[in-house]
Chain A
Amino acid sequence: MKRILARTLYTLIVLLLSSIAVFYAIRLSGGDAVSARLPASASYEEREEFRELLGLNDPVHEQYFRYMGRLLTFDLGKSLTNNADIYTMLTEHGKNSLILGVAAFVLVFAIGVPLGILAAVRRNSWTDGSVMTFSVAGMAVPNFWLALLTVWLFASTLGWLPSAGCCSLKQLILPAVVLAMEGIALTVRMTRSAMLENLGQDFVRTLRAGGLSEASIIGKHVLRNAMVPIISLAGLRIGQIVGYALVVETIFGWPGLGQVLVNAVLRRDYPVAQFFSLVLIAIVVLSNWLADVGYTVANPRLRRT
């Protein structure tokens, strides 16, 4: 319990600090945003009026508190590029990102863990060899490159799947697989080495001496022990998926939060960039917190302390 409380406090502090950091960083480049939005011919007065309109002339900490207040009332302003309501953008794009992210997350563990177990159980066989080769390849091939290859193969050449768009199941397959690939490769490796490490532990010998079947020893006891580090890193996986979503959503034209942020940064649409930066940071931080709680619950050594 103490551990969970401490992690919660830490998470809140991190959220606060990063919101301040993002806010100041955007303000530092805020001048650019103004000139990017107004034509070069705009007069000083026009610029000042625009700055005043956006509240950029107030002290930064006042702007911060005002902004935080507006966050709580869901009054988030509008995009500078297409005048869309930011809150509406959040709900629409957030839903799409959630679908893609959950699909990728499920793929990571549904494929990565069984493959890792298989490689560990058949270690040094050709099964192990090919699984590990796949894993090395999965980490060496950057996801944008993999995206192009899969589009080229499955969309352009074979014509089985659409190359981009949202949000049918067929359109989901390619981005989800590409988004999951590095996570799968890493999970395979981690599962394999955690299984092997636990297979060498003394307690395995004790269980064998108890006459338990190899199926139970490997599938239940060793696996449960091996899952402890993998669960502890599941939060990081969510974070990595959020990060890669920036690239993958952009490539596949999947209208999610990542695509919104990248476009906002490219177009210097700073109210959108600021808000979605905060949203994505919050998702990462909260998922780390969630995984930490999960780890504490999964690991009896930490649970009751």
Chain B
Amino acid sequence: MSPDPATSPEPSTDVSDPAMSSGTAPDVSPEPAPSRADSNGAARRPVLSVRNLHTAVSTPDGAFDVVRDVSFDINSNEVLCLVGESGCGKTITALSIMRLLPTPPVRITSGEIVFDGADLTDLPERRIRGLRAERISMIFQDPLTSLDPVFTVGQVMTEVIRTHRDATKAEARDMSVEILRAVGLPAPAERFDSYPHELSGGMRQRVMIATALVLDPEILIADEPTTALDVTVQAQILERLRAEQQERHMSMLLITHDLAVVASIADRVAVMYAGEIVEQAPVDELFSDPRHPYTQGLLRALPHVSGKRRELVPIPGLVPPMQLMPPGCRFAPRCPHALERCWSDHPALETGAEAGAGFRCFNPQPF
């Protein structure tokens, strides 16, 4: 980890500098846990701030940044969507926050992840474990393989509860059944004693959500929670996630490659490409006025969004592989508006109209 995260390759124009994005004090959340009462109010404060995060994978051919200079805030009581093609570093970003990276070979090389006044990147393992599920939870893409097959739903939930709280088995059971019911699992008391293989995909995802929410965390990170599910179930799960987020005044980081999901649930969106955030904006703004050519390309590929009928235009080309990363703008090889400069200089994240918004492009075009 670099000794001084401020000396990032991106100099002054970084819009998501904490001082500017929160609009309050330059120090990130000096007070302890954000209280739920005022988070319901108008002012959104960052609950978690990612600053200049670099995460690298070491391979036999050398080390490559899979996440490069990523900065964003997750504000209280909002849904931030991280969008991008598979392999663009969304999952690695999320796992960096949870400190669940497969280390080695993947590890955070520099940057800060500030939560509750502490930098998660150098918190001791013990304290990170205390935060998981208790204050920051995560659910994963494939509910079929993500649940321990030889323990019942209830055994695992009970263990999670009792790891963090002083609860009797009976209390843990009551808490579990209650949350299972809340996330819409039919016959929760019976399901408590079920093994994962006895449940459908949608039911398993509800179990994973219930386990993630049972301790009432401040942040839920959901990594493509609906990708592996049937379409009808997808909608139900998303609706449930949105409802829980609002009822609990919880913040959510939702990772998806599906802009339809983004449109239905997000408050703000960060678009990732080749390990970088290329554009960040509130959801309405992003859909109505996308600035980065990649975002525009994504939207063109999506019919019927915001009522407009557009011709379906796929973005030509491939995501650049790690070994052949363009030195300038990483999107230049696929960009319809690329300039000479885009091949040599690396664009910084330009400041947008609002804090927590911006894009990386030398030659933005109207959509």
Interface, chain A (partner B; CB < 8 A)? 201-203, 205-213, 216, 221, 224-225, 228, 298-301, 304
Nearest-neighbour CB distance to chain B for A123, whole angstroms, equals 12
Minimal Cβ-Cβ distance residue in A for B211: A210
* The one of B134, B156, B195, B197 that contacts A207, using a Cβ cutoff of 8 Å: B156
Q: Is the CB of A212 within 8 A of B163?
A: yes
Q: Is the CB of B146 within 8 A of A203?
A: yes
Q: Is the CB of B150 within 8 A of A300?
A: yes
Bitwise, B193-230 to A at CB < 8 A (1) or not (0) is 00101100000000010011000000000000000000
Bitwise, B170-209 to A at CB < 8 A (1) or not (0) is 0000000000000000000000000101100000000010
- State the CA gap A207–B100 with chains docked (Å): 11
Specify which chain A residues have a CB less than 8 angstroms from the CB of B139 in the assembled complex.
209
A and B contact pairs by CB, cutoff 8 A, 15 listed:
A202-B142, A209-B98, A209-B100, A210-B156, A211-B131, A211-B163, A211-B164, A212-B129, A212-B163, A221-B148, A225-B149, A228-B150, A300-B149, A300-B195, A301-B195
- State the CA gap A211–B134 with chains docked (Å): 8
Specify which chain A residues have a CB less than 8 angstroms from the CB of B160 in the assembled complex.
210-212
Given the known inter-chain contacts A206-B208, A209-B133, A210-B132, please indicate yes or no for A225 contacting B150, CB distance below 8 A. yes
Specify which chain A residues have a CB less than 8 angstroms from the CB of B164 in the assembled complex.
211
Minimal Cβ-Cβ distance residue in A for B157: A210
* The one of A205, A209, A224 that contacts B151, using a Cβ cutoff of 8 Å: A224
Q: How many residues of B contact A (CB 8 A)?
A: 32
The verdict on B130 contacting chain A, using a C-beta distance below 8 Å, is yes
Nearest-neighbour CB distance to chain A for B225, whole angstroms, equals 12
Given the known inter-chain contacts A202-B140, A300-B195, please indicate yes or no for A207 contacting B131, CB distance below 8 A. no
Q: Is the CB of A211 within 8 A of B129?
A: yes
- State the CA gap A262–B212 with chains docked (Å): 62
- State the CA gap A205–B208 with chains docked (Å): 12
Most buried by B among A201, A202, A213, A301: A202
Q: Is the CB of B138 within 8 A of A209?
A: yes
- State the CA gap A301–B159 with chains docked (Å): 21
The verdict on B145 contacting chain A, using a C-beta distance below 8 Å, is yes
Specify which chain A residues have a CB less than 8 angstroms from the CB of B147 in the assembled complex.
203, 206
Nearest-neighbour CB distance to chain B for A1, whole angstroms, equals 16
The verdict on B137 contacting chain A, using a C-beta distance below 8 Å, is yes
Nearest-neighbour CB distance to chain A for B339, whole angstroms, equals 42
Given the known inter-chain contacts A205-B146, A213-B163, A216-B159, please indicate yes or no for A221 contacting B131, CB distance below 8 A. no
Q: Is the CB of A201 within 8 A of B145?
A: yes
- State the CA gap A251–B250 with chains docked (Å): 72
Q: Is the CB of A207 within 8 A of B148?
A: yes
* The one of B138, B149, B152 that contacts A203, using a Cβ cutoff of 8 Å: B149
Nearest-neighbour CB distance to chain B for A193, whole angstroms, equals 18
Nearest-neighbour CB distance to chain A for B130, whole angstroms, equals 7
Minimal Cβ-Cβ distance residue in A for B160: A210
Specify which chain A residues have a CB less than 8 angstroms from the CB of B197 in the assembled complex.
300-301
**SS of A interface (majority):** helix
- State the CA gap A24–B289 with chains docked (Å): 88
Q: Is the CB of A209 within 8 A of B149?
A: no
* The one of B148, B150, B198 that contacts A206, using a Cβ cutoff of 8 Å: B148
Q: Is the CB of A209 within 8 A of B212?
A: yes
Contacting residues of chain B (94-140) with chain A, CB-CB under 8 angstroms: 98, 100, 129-134, 137-140
Specify which chain B residues have a CB less than 8 angstroms from the CB of A208 in the assembled complex.
100, 132
- State the CA gap A210–B198 with chains docked (Å): 22
* The one of B130, B138, B150, B195 that contacts A224, using a Cβ cutoff of 8 Å: B150
Q: Is the CB of A212 within 8 A of B159?
A: yes
Given the known inter-chain contacts A206-B140, A300-B197, please indicate yes or no for A213 contacting B148, CB distance below 8 A. no
Nearest-neighbour CB distance to chain A for B134, whole angstroms, equals 6
Minimal Cβ-Cβ distance residue in B for A301: B197
* The one of A202, A203, A209 that contacts B132, using a Cβ cutoff of 8 Å: A209
Minimal Cβ-Cβ distance residue in A for B144: A202
Q: Is the CB of A203 within 8 A of B163?
A: no
- State the CA gap A221–B140 with chains docked (Å): 18
Specify which chain B residues have a CB less than 8 angstroms from the CB of A216 in the assembled complex.
159, 163
Nearest-neighbour CB distance to chain A for B224, whole angstroms, equals 13
- State the CA gap A211–B150 with chains docked (Å): 19
Q: Knowing that A203-B145, A207-B156, A210-B212 touch, tell me 12 more A-B residue pairs with CB under 8 angstroms.
A: A203-B146, A205-B100, A206-B140, A206-B146, A206-B148, A209-B98, A209-B212, A210-B160, A216-B159, A300-B152, A300-B195, A301-B195
Specify which chain B residues have a CB less than 8 angstroms from the CB of A213 in the assembled complex.
129, 163
Please name the 3 residue pairs, one residue from A and one from B, whose CB atoms are nearest each other, closest first.
A211-B132, A202-B145, A210-B160
Nearest-neighbour CB distance to chain B for A299, whole angstroms, equals 7
- State the CA gap A216–B160 with chains docked (Å): 11
Minimal Cβ-Cβ distance residue in A for B215: A211
- State the CA gap A207–B156 with chains docked (Å): 8
Specify which chain B residues have a CB less than 8 angstroms from the CB of A224 in the assembled complex.
150-151
Minimal Cβ-Cβ distance residue in B for A222: B148
Nearest-neighbour CB distance to chain B for A199, whole angstroms, equals 10
Specify which chain B residues have a CB less than 8 angstroms from the CB of A203 in the assembled complex.
145-149
Specify which chain B residues have a CB less than 8 angstroms from the CB of A201 in the assembled complex.
145
Specify which chain B residues have a CB less than 8 angstroms from the CB of A298 in the assembled complex.
150
